[in-house]
Amino acid sequence: MAKTIPFALITPTAIVCDSEAELVIAPGAEGEVGILPQHAPYLTALKPGVLRINLVDGDTQRRLELATSSGFLQALPNRVVVIVDAAFEPNQIDVDSAKADLEAATKRQQAANGDLTLYHREQEKIDFAQAKLTVASHSSMLAN
């Protein structure tokens, strides 16, 4: 049985990651989903959150953690594809601006006043900002 599966993380501006993966854990719209090799064909919407991938490069393993915006994940028999608008690695995250985004979006959400569309839009921004902060704090914990 194949232990790994080709994985690609694609944004409109770049292919962020394209390599063999052992496990992909993604923030699905209905809760986290974990994808192992030989998963049944599967397509789900992703909400903004933390995407974790166990990458395998020859004998070395690497755990990749990224903050992603909303998008989609598709598991095909021969590969796993994730498309999102934006994906940030820990070193690309500006903690201060993420905090500012979080605050601004929370304020706007509180002012939404029953406008559900606006409420959900702001929720996405809140989730994305929180994901950025989570990823950044994890990586700083590892560094210490």
* Residues lying near another protein in the complex (CB under 8 A): 8, 10-15, 28-30, 33, 40-45, 70-72, 74, 76-77, 81, 83, 85-86, 117
| Nearest distance, CB of residue 71 and another protein, angstroms | 8
Measure the CA–CA gap between 103 and 50, rounded to whole angstroms.
Answer: 19
Three-state SS at 36: coil
Task: Take residue 96 and report the two structure tokens written for it.
Answer: 């201060």
In terms of CB distance, is 15 or 143 closer to another protein?
Answer: 15
Collect all residues with Cβ–Cβ distance below 8 Å to 4 and sequence separation of at least 6: 20, 21, 22, 37, 56
In terms of CB distance, is 25 or 33 closer to another protein?
Answer: 33
In terms of CB distance, is 104 or 138 closer to another protein?
Answer: 104
| Nearest distance, CB of residue 17 and another protein, angstroms | 12
Measure the CA–CA gap between 66 and 115, rounded to whole angstroms.
Answer: 31
| Nearest distance, CB of residue 135 and another protein, angstroms | 20
